[in-house]
Structure 1
Amino acid sequence: MTFEIFFTLLVLTGMIAALVMDKMRPGMILFSVVILFMLVGILSPKEVLEGFSNKGMITVALLFLISEGIRQTGAISQLIKKLLPDKKTTIFKSQLRMLPCIAAISAFLNNTPVVVIFAPIIKHWAAKQNLPATKFLIPLSYATILGGVCTLIGTSTNLVVHGMILETGRQGFSMFELGKVGIFIALAGIIYIFCFSNKLLPNRRKDPVSEDSEEENHHELHRIEAVIGPRFPGINKSLKTFDFMRHYGAEVKEIKRNGESFTQDLENIPFRDGDTLVLIADDDFIPTWGESSVFLMLANGKDIDIHQKGNKKRRWFAMLLLIFMITGATVGELPRVKEMFPNLKLDMFFFVSITTVIMAWAKLFPPKKYTKYISWDILITIACAFAISKAMENSGFADMIASYIIGLADNLGPHMLLALLFIITNLFTEIITNNAAAALAFPIALSLSTQLGVSPTPFFVVICIAASASFSTPIGYQTNLIVQGIGNYKFTDFIRFGLPLNIITFLLSVILIPLFWKF
């Protein structure tokens, strides 16, 4: 084992440990790793910076703004309200109306804003219908994940892998190429949710902080649930060192994290990104902080929508722009269109850029505040993921791991290696971020295909599916964290209900991918 390989192994082990222990934001952890690789000469400064100019990374940034434009017009919140039945209904019938539509929406929009908008609306609707919200919130998160695997823009992971493929000089994915297998996985997953959510998901769980607390009745204050976002200034601080009341005019009554509920000794519990806080606040809290990136989601149990500022014309205009972007990116990949416009690259980046600029000038999102709607940590994570992937190639670490995997599989062939790659990637995505998991798996996939002398495309596709299929833990995907707090789920709820979905996704991927993309 050379020094470069040993150093890469040591640094990547430390990176995974730091991500699992949540020592700091993922972007800073990955950036630190990249700098270490540069210090020992495994990466050149040029290779460190290449990820920050990658087309896939910039496309993800622009898609944040497009999702915000759609969100601020109130288009998708109006849609979910129309889907929710007004009359008395059952869990199955309600899911049948909601989940396919939610999956379709998340195929073209960022998953997080979809869940942020839908979760409080669905929870309030379930309470009015006297149905347990616990039967709908995990299915909401899973439906957005399942929809995301169907298109190139459905999740940032697909765009990251697409960008890495382009870096190797190969042709990336077209708009709906991943849908060849993704749609079968989405259909199977939604059918599984229909059949087993009522049996495997818990019934109502009483919250330690009652919704009819004495403070609310006497002081006309309200119970509000707030999910902490990455820009919350009190992350890693406790109430003892961060005066929440002075900053936000609200009292923290409970902190929910990873299935645990903290109501005692709150002064000494540090805040974490993704925590759900139960607050006692007045009517001004949601209007004041609803548009802030400090909190990912705010809900007070009332049927209000702070995002519904736009009129019908603005909503229709936003949806037409979204259709223009999707159609343009799809048609632009056709061979005839490429021949007609040889000097133009009519790809996803081209149409996403145009759509973003039109939305900004039409003020579908506030153009003077556009930076606040971009999740910079995700972008830094993605940019660094490209560099880490390159470091694994440069050091020879990826080739060593690929040789080891081939040795384990012996003479079982590429199908077994495809299965092993899925398992490795999926385990990584359950304990660290999905983009970091894709970064670790991509160079291994490339080395596997090279050493076997087969096409790398099936291995690239399996990375996209496995890195997104985070169903067994709440920590693997941000939407799972959001619904965990608002639904009072335990960690074991995700394992019990999500693990079979992981297995279904694994089996369908290993069977279907080689049928559509030959080795």
Structure 2
Amino acid sequence: MLTFEVIIVFLGLIGMVTALLLDKMRPGMILFSVTVFFLCFGILTPKEMLEGFSNKGMITVALLFLISEGVRQSGALGQLIKKLLPQEKTTVMKAQARMLPVISFVSAFLNNTPVVVIFAPIVKRWAESVCIPATKFLIPISYATILGGMCTLIGTSTNLVVDGMILDAGYKGFGMFELGRVGVFIALAGILYLLFFSSGLLPEARKNTADDEYVEAEPSSYHRVEAVIGVRFPGINKRVGDFNFARHYGAEVKEIKRSGVSITNNLSRVKFHEGDTLVLWADDSFISTWGDSSVFVLLANGKDTEPKGDRKKRWFALTLLVLMIVGATVGELPFMEELFPGVELDMFFFAAVTTVIMAWTKLFPARKYTKYISWDILITIACAFAISRAMVNSGASGFIAHGIIDMSDDYSPHVLLAVLFIITNLFTELITNNAAAALAFPLALSLSDQLGVSPTPFFVVICIAASASFFTPIGYQTNLIVQGIGNYKFTDFVRVGLPLNILTFIISVILIPMIWPF
């Protein structure tokens, strides 16, 4: 029934999606604005609005940021990718076959962004040294991390968000490897697709237009540096000419790479955007000064700049990571509840313990721990819980679900599962994965309730569809990172990613109902 509350929620959601598409401000503030809007109309109580900020899934995401940083600073990731890269002459397929499965495995347990931030510059340098275009590897690296993230509860923040919503709704959450029952099949099919088809679909190397224009004119102590703009860059949406980059960072902007286009003319009139890759002319101090800052997501100067921890530090970090995963997996077993009554040995417990150990053993600088947490993602997640609650409170989710059922000629849950996948996937490509999950979760509840079937298949399809961001660079941060340093165009992602989206869709709608029956 189209009530006043439903209309208010629809207006809020339309405004949210529009603001996200137009990139008016950070997603966290957009979603927070929508929750305040709902609060003003009494659709949310203050308690309901704030519940997401204390949700166990959201806090676990924050802890995993720190754990990923500890592993990154140990130097383990840099050493791993160097051992995987063939040193002799090779082919694109052989090199991808060595890299992609391992990258997927690593990203199943670590935040995808640091994996790509460390791997991408190393792979780019290696590709240049063996005379293979780096463009044949960078998009596949990003896609491999996304595919790996589908296989575990901690592989992506979206899985933890959906799990938190499931628990809030009174259902049993996912186990550590439960999503892997379908995620592994998707990852294997995706990697095989990339091995056999990506090389032909990806472009050859694109020349950086600014490379030859100023090298001779600058002092020899200066060299080319690539910097991907992060969320905390103070010049976002300001013109290059109005923001004194040299005064702030001691470097000069020579080129901006955006959507596969190199901008060198009339730079002073161009506005900085998050995800832009800046080609800078800087001295050796630039990376050491700003490499540990969230102002830039990635810095590369053609040299080794990743952390170089000693061997003991690397092994200690990896041991802690393995113990956390094993502990969270074993902690779900019934006999553990009998051994440790009153202690919930879940992912949150072991992530918290691991984070504290890493801080006290200085695997990451404890005094700077707030720098390594993406606060906007956490605020987005917390507000996603509130928006989902508002859709339920107002009846908007039931109204939409009823409309979807009425529009379907076949009321089969299999058909509606496919419809929910498409809706969630389109939202995740256009806005953000966590916002997509927030919109899709109450629909899943309402659809399963009106059909009288188990909601679990719908929950799983949200996790998969919200992560399967392949055919646009804007849906996932790792895609934005490789777009800049690989000088990819938007159409490159469509050409390679759209078949992968379709492949993921087909496998999901076939396997999910078989593994989790309605």
State the TM bucket, normalised to the shorter chain.
Answer: over 0.9
1:497 aligns with 2:496: yes
Match of 2:142 in 1: 141
Q: In structure 2, the residue corresponding to 1:280 is in which secondary structure? A: strand
Match in the other structure for 1:378: 377
Q: CA deviation at 1:260?
A: 2.7
Cα distance between partner residues in 1 of 2:213 and 2:255? 15
2:485 alignment partner in structure 1: 486
* SS across alignment from 1:240: helix
Alpha-carbon displacement from aligned partner over 1:357-377 (angstroms, at most 9, x marks no partner): 000000100000000000000
Whether the aligned pair in 1 keeps the contact of 2:259 and 2:487 (CA below 8 Å) is no
Superposed, 1:33-48 pairs within 5 Å as 33-48=34-49
Q: Which amino acid aligns with 2:323?
A: F
- Alignment-derived partner of residue 505 in structure 2: 506
SS of the aligned residue for 2:208 comes to coil
Deviations 1:314-346 (A, max 9, x none): 110000000000000000001222232231111
Aligned partner of residue 277 in structure 1, secondary structure: strand
Partners of 1:202 and 1:493 within 8 A in 2: yes
2:293 and 2:367 mapped to 1: Cα distance? Answer: 14
Cα distance in 1 for partners of 2:216, 2:462 equals 50
Question: Residues 276-320 of structure 1: CA distance to partner in whole angstroms, max 9, x if unpaired?
Answer: 111011111111111111111001122x13411x21111100000
Paired residue type of 1:12? L
Aligned pairs for 1:188-227 within 5 A: 188-210=189-211, 213-215=214-216, 218-227=219-228
Tell me how far 1:410 sits from its aligned partner. 3.3
Partner of 1:244: 245
Paired amino acid for 2:119: F
Partner AA of 2:282 in structure 1? A
The 5-angstrom pairing of residues 95-106 of structure 1 reads: 95-106=96-107
Structure 2 match to 1:117? 118
Specify the SS of the correspondent of 2:121: helix
Given that 1:132 and 1:204 are in contact with CA atoms closer than 8 Å, whether structure 2 keeps it comes out as yes
- Report sequence identity in percent: 71
Shift, 1:197, TM fit: 1.1
What's the counterpart of residue 72 of structure 1? 73
Q: Is the 8 A contact 2:118 2:306 kept in 1?
A: no
Out of 336-345 and 68-77, give the one that drifted further: 336-345
Deviations 1:73-103 (A, max 9, x none): 1001100000001111111110010000000
CA separation of 1:272/1:217 partners in 2, compared to 1, >3 Å: closer, same or farther? closer
Q: Is the 8 A contact 2:135 2:202 kept in 1?
A: yes
What is the one-letter code of the residue matched to 2:335?
Answer: R
After superposing on structure 2, the runs of 4+ consecutive aligned residues of structure 1 that deviate more than 6 Å are none
Q: Contact 2:10–2:396 (CA<8 Å) still a contact in 1?
A: yes
Counterpart AA for 1:80: I
| Equivalent residue runs for 1:371-410 within 5 Å | 371-410=370-409
Provide structure 1 residue ranges, at least 5 long, that are not aligned to the other structure. none
Corresponding residue for residue 234 of structure 1: 235
Letter in 1 for 2:501: N
- Please name the residue that 1:87 is paired with: 88
How many residue pairs get matched? 517
Moved more, 388-397 or 230-239: 230-239
| Structure 2 CA distance for aligned equivalents of residues 388 and 305 of structure 1 | 41
Match for residue 440 of structure 1? 439
2-side partners of 1:260 and 1:439: how far apart? 33
Taking the aligned partners of 1:211 and 1:363, their CA distance within structure 2 comes to 43
| Distance in 2 of aligned mates of 1:278 and 1:434 | 29
Contact 1:65 1:370 in 2 (8 A): yes
Structure 2 Cα separation of the partners of residues 191 and 212 of structure 1: 41
**Could you say if the C-alpha distance between residues 285 and 397 of structure 1 is closer, same or farther in structure 2, counting changes exceeding 3 Å?**
same
Q: What residue in structure 1 maps to residue 61 of structure 2?
A: 60
> How far is 1:258 from its partner?
2.5
Q: Which residue of 1 aligns with 2:340?
A: 341
Taking structure 1 as reference, are residues 5 and 484 closer, same or farther at Cα in structure 2, changes over 3 Å only?
same
Aligned position for 1:273: 274
1:423 corresponds in structure 2 to 422
Deviation at 1:350, TM superposition (A): 0.5
What is the RMSD of the two structures over their aligned residues, measured on CA atoms?
1.0
CA distance in structure 1 between the aligned counterparts of 2:452 and 2:411, rounded to whole angstroms: 15
TM-score by length of 2: 0.98
| Paired residues of 1:27 and 1:384 also in contact (CA < 8 A) | yes
Partners of 1:499 and 1:36 in 2: CA distance: 36
Does residue 357 in structure 1 map to residue 370 in structure 2? no
Which runs of 5 or more structure 2 residues have no equivalent in the other structure?
none
Query: What TM-score results when the alignment is normalised by the length of structure 1?
Result: 0.98
Displacement of 1:241 after TM fit?
2.2
Q: What residue is the counterpart of 1:179 in the other structure?
A: 180
How far residue 168 of structure 1 moved from its aligned partner, in angstroms, is 0.8
Report the Cα distance in structure 2 between the residues aligned to 1:258 and 1:389, rounded to whole angstroms.
33
Which residue does 2:457 correspond to in 1? 458
Please tell me whether the aligned partners of residues 152 and 179 of structure 2 are also in contact (alpha carbons under 8 angstroms). Answer: yes
Corresponding residue for 1:295? 296
Task: Determine helix, strand or coil for the equivalent of 1:233.
Answer: coil
Q: Which moved more, 1:282-291 or 1:46-55?
A: 282-291
Q: Secondary structure at the match of 2:175?
A: coil
Q: Kindly tell me: are residues 73 and 21 of structure 1, through their superposed partners in 2, closer, same or farther at Cα, counting changes over 3 Å?
A: same
